[in-house]
Structure 1
Amino acid sequence: MRVTAAVMPRPNQSFEIREIELDAPRAGEVLVRIYGVGICHTDLVAAEGRYSITMPAVLGHEGAGVIEDVGPGVTKVKPGDQVVITFAFCGDCPMCCSRQPAYCRSMPALNLSGKRADGSSSLRDDQGDVAGRFFGQSSFASHALALERNVVKVPEGVPLEIAGPLGCGIQTGAGAIMRSMDCANGTSLAVLGGGAVGLSAIMAASLREMRAIILVEPSARRRQLALELGATHVIDPATVTDVAAAVRSALSAGADYVFDTSGLPGVINAVPKILAPRGVFGFVGVPPASAIDLGPPGTLREMMRGGFTYRGIIEGDSDPDVFLPELMTLYLKGQFPFDKLITTYPLSDINRAVSDQHQGLCIKPVLLP
């Protein structure tokens, strides 16, 4: 079928709105008409050519919409169901079988190759194959193919147009607090970076009734929103000479948990000075390999002396069939207002949305095909 998609023609170019061909669903696949899709930092990294996916490509991996068709063998959903699409996973490896699909052994191949697991392409134009299946969906488009395994039903009352970011950025931030680090009631947290992931962590920390929740973020608008969402303190790094000292002024013993979303080497190097003894550092922001390692002078010694745990986090350790319904239920109860993070744009304005995000004019842009 012919669909409309935002295509990245070559790395570091602007997206182009094109008509391309999308396969009908095969066994285990579902066709989703996209009602809304978030723009995630991972999409922009892929657009720079830093992953294995080739160009031209259709990116997008925070989609939500309505099932229009299903392939043979699909029983989880049916046409007409409203769904959010999350990352792809095999369902069979030891990690998947232990309900840790974010660490699926086939994660890179299923999410970053631009092809189905059998090596075939699901998208093409007049010049040949177009890379798709980005994170199991490629949802910068009017329609996307996913596996029944990586869709989750959206209950009535959750706005379908803005539900897509639950499938990646929002579950990553919330899951970091509620699953990966499993932050305890009455403990303290410092969040480094106030984008959609960081602010989702703030909301989750508030739900966990942590006694101190600190956000380090240069944007005044985001700091104010963090206070509305449950932060107890905010710090503008541009106004302090030592971020660690600023955190310690609020938490003299340090933070029990630190969660980094920035990936900035200077910020990450300050973490050992922020953590309380036996503190946990969770990180999703990853700097260039040449910019940082575990060996800056004294870092390993500080880690050992403090008894620190460093914890890499993928997708908030989410088991989507369990965690996404939990987040949606919290939203319906008024306890997880992720809609406050979202600004919508037509799909045709994708390049403006990307620019606005770069400039800090929005937190989580969502495209409406």
Structure 2
Amino acid sequence: MRIGPIDIDRPVILAPMEDVTDRAFRQLCKRFGADIVYTEFVSAEALRRGAEKTLRKLVLEAGERPVAVQIFGSTVESMVEATAVAEEYAPDFIDINFGCPTKKVAGKGAGAALLREPGKMAAIAEAVVRRSSLPVTAKTRIGWDHDSINIIDVLRRLEDAGIQALAIHGRTRSDMYKGRADWNWIAEAKNHARIPVIANGDIWSAEDALAMFRHTGADGIMIGRGAIGNPFIFGQAKHLLQTGVVLPMPGFSLRIHAAIDHLELSVACKGEKYGTIEMRRHYSTYLKGLPKVSVVRNAIVREDDWQLVTEILLAYERECEGYARDGRIKEYAEYLNDHSDKLVLNY
């Protein structure tokens, strides 16, 4: 899949997610194999006003590349100005959010709301392409609702506007995140496309990633919620695509240490106070399904010292070793049957 100078065969991509794909999480996902990462989506209006909190979302690290900045807005003027600001932070390409279904975005005429105004969507895309010295891509949904699925028309308009790739989430705006993503419409769009198509929606495992490629014929796939607390999915997906072999699920030790790495990156990016506090939302997904997890989770979400959080997590890892020997961590107990000389499930 080619976007400007970027050329990656069947890339596995981290989707933009508000309050999730910050600098720390992007770096972690790159460590575990994400080919391309996106920033959180940022408001064009906030960028043109120079809002400090929004500008911080544009700060990038060399180790994240290739990385895209995603912007959203409802007017040509704001999006053109936002493009100029975003380019100052030197991303590899600019992405336009035409798919966010939330009230704070679509309710203000941006994101998925523009699916009801495809002419305006195309005008915004054309203006951003004309203003940008970087490649421009977009992300959208298959339509506003099931009575107005217009992804093929949208695709053609965005191609004509100069968009270099289109990521498609296989839901309508009215679906929000409910039900199952419709991969058939992504496949139909791919059949009509002159530009790369990136498939998005309901990729929760490496097997899902392979199935998405096979079902849609997409040039790349994009993983959103399936990566939260599970950055391992990128390496797992790529290994399966390249070898046909399914790797084992990460064991408790790898999951705990990934949470610790994420915490350390968060503190490095945001400082001790905010880096520690903003990590709290992630622990439940890293530790999901482990024995007596509620006790440790309740302890770490109340702790403001990141070093003490790390100590609690390392102590919990030692507890889990005991639970595993007792057979209370199923996948670990099964692993021990074949690897009796090892205590940590690695891959």
Q: Give the TM-score taking structure 2 as reference length.
A: 0.26
Structure with the larger helix share: 2
The one of the two structures with greater contact order (alpha-carbon pairs below 8 A, sep at least 6) is 1
Structure with the larger strand share: 1
